[in-house]
Amino acid sequence: MAKDDFFRKELVAELRRIELMMKRAETIEKKIYYFSAAYGITGRTLRYSFAEDYLLADFVLNTSYNGLMERFKRLRSGDATVELEPVHFERIQDGLRMLADAFESETSILAPLEQILTAMYATTGPGNYLREKGQLNL
């Protein structure tokens, strides 16, 4: 097995594990915690077997994690203008599954990353506003 194949296989397995752990988690904190492992594995993968797809996935996953953490911190401080809802995490989990499928089949990762990023964006003030107006659908 080539080095690149090994790291791709490990990436796919970890993304699938993260999706499952997020589904099983009962709290928002644990879902976000498990989600942080997604950019962890892409970061490790791109350091050992660089590909632009790994870099793009790492950027989107890291940005999405930071966006969710920002919203979570705001909620904990009393700002409940935008809630973290189950649908946000369902879309992210679906996106992780689709991302694992795309890496496994070596097809475009754009749609899964768009789904993850859109779900996170819906937790921001502007994203939630667009969702309330009916312009952003989850």
Residue 1: per-residue pLDDT = 54
Nearest-angstrom CA–CA distance, 55 and 135:
29
Residue 19: per-residue pLDDT = 98
Give the tens place of pLDDT for each residue, 2-48.
768 999 999 999 999 999 999 999 999 999 999 999 999 999 999 99
The full set of domain ranges for the chain reads 1-133
Q: What is the CA radius of gyration of the chain?
A: 15
Cα–Cα separations (whole angstroms), residue 31 to 7, 25, 80, 127: 25, 6, 19, 20
> From the CB of residue 59, how many other CB atoms can be counted at a distance below 10 Å?
16
